[in-house]
């Protein structure tokens, strides 16, 4: 195998060019086999095999730097930078991260995981005096994010020595959307434009005796038409030199183009066209399903038996919203390039005229929803918890300050498992609890999710509801809430906390369990009963300090209810990747960890 020759960064340079097609085949085979076992981002990585090979052939990654936008397409890069042997442990606890990680290799300058930031980050490296060449690789969907255009603008204005590679594949998590991204896609796929260019080339070859001036003039005519009608017009107008589009799977074409362009100076953009899922039939046919996939059967592409049939919080939300929408014509849904991931795909199909996908633009999604609400609609904005962080200012300015009835539903809250620190939603409750007028709801069961969603849609002000990526219980009941000590668990940690309480009670400790779904405002009646004659309270949440436990402390302090209180939260650090149960155990939020800390607390008081 050719791959066996590649053990260190730069080893690829020793290969003959004729060996590269076989290398591409072996790389795809390794990625498909590994992701089928570990899960991960498959389609995007299969689409950048040839592009990554050529970048590694021509760059010296001991001096040069590649910034991968989002970073989920870095698997080939990792294999070619000395991590082939550990690649089978991709996205496993204490294994190999599914995103760039400087702790693994100096070939990863940054931890990345969110979109549209690569150009600005790469520009900072250039401006800061990075000794080598700097390349930002960004997809067409990510280019639609405002931060990307801010970076392009600054790079052009400063005439920075920056190379941007635009990987156009017409996909984000879902199909590309948004005016800029769609326009770019249309220009890429403009067959009439390409036919005209081919006609001009053919015309030139018929007249070998034409003088160089005439030939040059005709070449300029072709370039002029290309600049007028093609994507070059967009980038050249802001100060970038544009090259392309090139076939992102043609090794010979890529090497010839990149060899010349990488060594040029000033801001320049290389446009390559790739296909997500390239080389694996099921992923080519359905790249959205294979954007981020669970383990699957290689032969069929189907998820392993049993996993696909399990109901999740997302499924419950999706069905409940669809049911409620039938009787509420004013209800509309908004997302940011993740209809399927947030459970809005059934809503989109049933009510296409009431569904809005703004593309990778969370800030715009929130501001857009504010306008919808002011116009009399009832917008439900569904976004992953981690990506919602990007829209904090719009939540404050456009929604909360106006007191508008926008409902935010954040999926993948808490620990998300294998995607790791860039994707965990451990800060949501802490940073959003600070906003006046924003109601926070944290369901801990499927039944409570439906109940709280209905309450959110009936509210007259802004409401935020969060739920985890993991599966949960159908219902969650209190257990001896009048016991001497009471453990109050918020949202997704409820089932685990109850398990700990049951064990504590088996060991003879006087503790009860109370599930909590209302974080702001707190349920005054529930809390008043919880503190009445209590020997102490324990709060548990899948969030950093500053969320539910802090709210309980503030509530008790403001009312002079002085009693021992233990807050069990996520630690003040970024949590690694792995299965959720492994991560909960690491940070002491599994049943054993909650048992241990609660038992120590109670025993210190009795």
pLDDT recorded at residue 233: 82
Average pLDDT rounded to a whole number, residues 465-491: 96
Q: Can you list the alpha helix ranges (DSSP code H) found in 446-603?
A: 446-458, 494-506, 524-531, 548-558, 580-586, 591-603
116 is in an annotated binding site: no
Residue 169, annotated ligand binder? yes
Q: Per-residue confidence at 198, pLDDT binned at 50, 70, 90?
A: low
Q: Which residue has the tokens 């931060």?
A: 147
pLDDT tens for 386-427 read: 999 999 999 999 999 999 999 999 999 999 999 999 999 999
Computed over every residue of the chain, the mean pLDDT equals: 91
**Which residues, at least 6 apart from 142, have a Cβ–Cβ distance to it below 8 Å?**
69, 70, 115, 116, 118, 148, 172, 360
Is 141 marked as binding a ligand? Answer: yes
Annotation marks residue 285 as catalytic: no
Instruction: Specify the pTM.
Output: 0.89
Residue 195: pLDDT band with limits 50, 70, 90:
low
pLDDT confidence tier of residue 322, bands split at 50, 70 and 90: very high
For 206, other C-beta atoms within 10 Å of its C-beta total: 7
The percentage of the chain sitting over the pLDDT mark of 70, rounded to a whole number, equals 89
* 328 classed as catalytic: no
Query: What pLDDT shows up at residue 188?
Result: 45
- Cα–Cα distance measured from residue 37 to residue 256, given in angstroms and rounded to the nearest whole number: 36
3-state secondary structure of 537: strand
Residues 6+ apart with CB under 8 A from 72: 41, 44, 45, 98, 99, 113, 292
Contact predicate 540/519, CB 8 Å: no
Question: What token pair was written down for 323?
Answer: 């049911």
Region 59-87: what's the mean pLDDT? 96
Region 479-504 average pLDDT: 97
The closest of 380, 371, 382 to 336, measured between CA atoms, is 382
Burial of 191 (0-12, 13-18, 19+ CB in 10 A): exposed
Q: Pick left, alpha or beta for residue 424 (phi over 0 → left; psi -120 to 50 → alpha; otherwise beta).
A: beta
Question: If we measure between CA atoms, which residue out of 367, 370, 337 comes closest to residue 355?
Answer: 337
72 annotated as belonging to a binding site for a ligand: yes
Structure-block tokens of residue 179: 């005016």
A 10 A CB-CB count for 252 gives 13
Mean pLDDT of 575-593: 97
Q: Give the residue, 485 or 218, on which the prediction is more confident.
A: 485
Which residue among the candidates 78, 83, 276, 377 is catalytic per the annotation? 276
286 is in an annotated binding site: no
- Ranges of each domain in the chain: 3-190+230-285, 313-468, 485-603
What does the pLDDT read at residue 191?
46
Beta bridge partners of 408: 381, 464
Residue, of 215 and 409, whose pLDDT is higher? 409
**Does pLDDT of 302 surpass 70?**
yes
CA 153 – CA 123 distance, rounded (Å): 11
- Calculate mean pLDDT across residues 306-331: 90
Q: Give strand ranges (E) for 73-212.
A: 134-139, 163-168
195-203 mean pLDDT: 54
Average pLDDT over residues 435-453: 98
**Domain spanning 485-603, CATH architecture:** 3-Layer(aba) Sandwich (3.40)
Average pLDDT of the segment spanning 456-472? 95
The predicted pLDDT at position 234 comes to 83
To the nearest 10°, the Cα dihedral for 533, 534, 535, 540? -170
Q: List pLDDT tens digits, range 88-126.
A: 999 999 999 999 999 999 999 999 999 999 999 999 999
* 189, pLDDT greater than 50: no
CATH superfamily of 313-468: Thiamin diphosphate (ThDP)-binding fold, Pyr/PP domains (3.40.50.970)
Residue 303 reports pLDDT greater than 90 = no
Q: Rounded mean pLDDT of 500-512?
A: 98
For the record, the structure tokens of 430 come out as 């802490």
249 confidence band (pLDDT: 50, 70, 90): very high
pLDDT in the model for residue 185: 47
For 134-184, how does the pLDDT look when each residue is reduced to its tens digit (9 = 90+)? 999 999 989 988 899 999 999 999 999 999 999 998 654 445 554 554 555
280 is in an annotated binding site: yes
Closest residue by Cα to residue 109 from 146, 153, 59: 59
362: annotated active-site residue:
yes
Give the whole-number percent of the chain exceeding pLDDT 90: 85
Q: Could you please state the CATH topology (level 3) that the domain comprising 3-190+230-285 is classified under.
A: Rossmann fold (3.40.50)
**Residue of 390, 439, 469, 498 marked active site:** 390
Q: Is the pLDDT of residue 203 over 90?
A: no
pLDDT at 172: 45
Structure tokens at 482: 């009048």
pLDDT of residue 204: 54
pLDDT exceeds 80 at position 228: no
Handedness of CA 332, 335, 341, 345 (dihedral sign): positive
Token look-up 């990510």 returns 142
């Amino acid at each position: 195998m050719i791959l066996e020759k590649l053990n260190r960064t730069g080893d690829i340079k020793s290969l003959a060019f004729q060996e590269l097609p076989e290398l591409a085949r072996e790389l795809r085979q390794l990625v498909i086999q590994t992701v089928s076992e570990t899960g991960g981002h498959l389609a995007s990585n299969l689409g950048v095999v040839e592009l990554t090979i050529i970048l590694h052939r021509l760059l010296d990654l001991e001096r040069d730097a590649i910034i991968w936008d989002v970073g989920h397409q870095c698997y080939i890069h990792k294999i070619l930078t000395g991590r082939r042997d550990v690649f089978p442990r991709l996205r496993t606890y204490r294994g190999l991260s599914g995103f760039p990680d400087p702790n693994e290799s100096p070939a990863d300058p940054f931890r990345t995981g969110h979109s549209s930031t690569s150009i600005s980050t790469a520009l900072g490296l250039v401006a800061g005096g990075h000794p080598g060449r700097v390349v930002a690789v960004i997809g067409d969907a990510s280019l639609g994010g405002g931060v990307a255009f801010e970076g392009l603008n600054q790079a052009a204005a400063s005439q920075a020595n920056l190379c941007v590679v635009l990987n156009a594949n017409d996909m984000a998590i879902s199909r590309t959307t948004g005016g800029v991204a769609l326009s770019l896609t249309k220009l890429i796929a403009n067959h009439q434009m390409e036919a005209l260019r081919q006609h001009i080339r053919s015309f030139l070859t018929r007249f070998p005796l034409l003088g160089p001036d005439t030939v040059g003039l005709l070449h300029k005519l072709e370039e002029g038409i290309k600049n007028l009608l093609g994507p070059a017009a967009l980038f050249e107008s802001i100060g970038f030199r544009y090259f392309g589009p090139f076939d992102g799977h043609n090794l010979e074409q890529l090497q010839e183009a990149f060899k010349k362009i990488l060594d040029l100076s000033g801001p320049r953009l290389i446009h390559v066209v790739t296909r997500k899922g390239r080389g694996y039939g099921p992923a080519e046919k359905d790249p959205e399903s294979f954007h981020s996939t669970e383990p699957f059967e290689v032969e069929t592409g189907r998820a392993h038996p049993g996993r696909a049939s399990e109901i999740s919080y997302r499924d419950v939300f999706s069905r409940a919203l669809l049911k409620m929408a039938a009787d509420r014509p004013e209800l509309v849904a908004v997302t940011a390039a993740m209809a399927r991931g947030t459970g809005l795909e059934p809503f989109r199909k049933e009510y296409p005229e009431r569904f809005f996908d703004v593309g990778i633009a969370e800030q715009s999604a929130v501001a857009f929803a504010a306008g919808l609400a002011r116009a009399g609609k009832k917008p439900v904005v569904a976004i992953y918890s981690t990506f919602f962080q990007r829209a904090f200012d719009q939540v404050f300015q456009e929604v909360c300050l106006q007191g508008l009835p926008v409902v935010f539903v954040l999926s993948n809250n808490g620990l998300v498992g294998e995607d790791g620190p860039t994707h965990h939603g451990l800060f949501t409750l802490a940073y959003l609890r600070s906003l006046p007028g924003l109601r926070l709801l944290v369901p801990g069961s499927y039944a409570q999710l439906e109940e709280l969603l209905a309450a959110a849609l009936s509210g007259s002000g802004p409401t935020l509801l969060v739920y985890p990526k993991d599966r949960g219980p159908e219902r969650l009941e209190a257990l001896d809430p009048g016991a001497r000590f009471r453990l109050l668990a918020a949202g997704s940690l409820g089932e685990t906390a109850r398990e700990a309480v049951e064990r504590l009670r088996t060991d003879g400790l006087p503790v009860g369990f109370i599930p909590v779904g209302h974080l702001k405002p707190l349920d005054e009646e529930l809390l008043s009963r919880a503190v009445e004659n209590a020997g102490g309270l324990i709060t548990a949440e899948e969030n950093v300090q500053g969320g539910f436990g802090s709210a309980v402390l503030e509530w008790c302090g403001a009312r002079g209810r002085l009693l021992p209180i233990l807050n069990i939260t996520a630690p003040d650090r970024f949590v690694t990747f792995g299965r959720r149960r492994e991560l909960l155990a690491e940070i002491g939020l599994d049943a054993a960890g909650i048992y241990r800390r609660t038992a120590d607390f109670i025993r210190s008081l009795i």
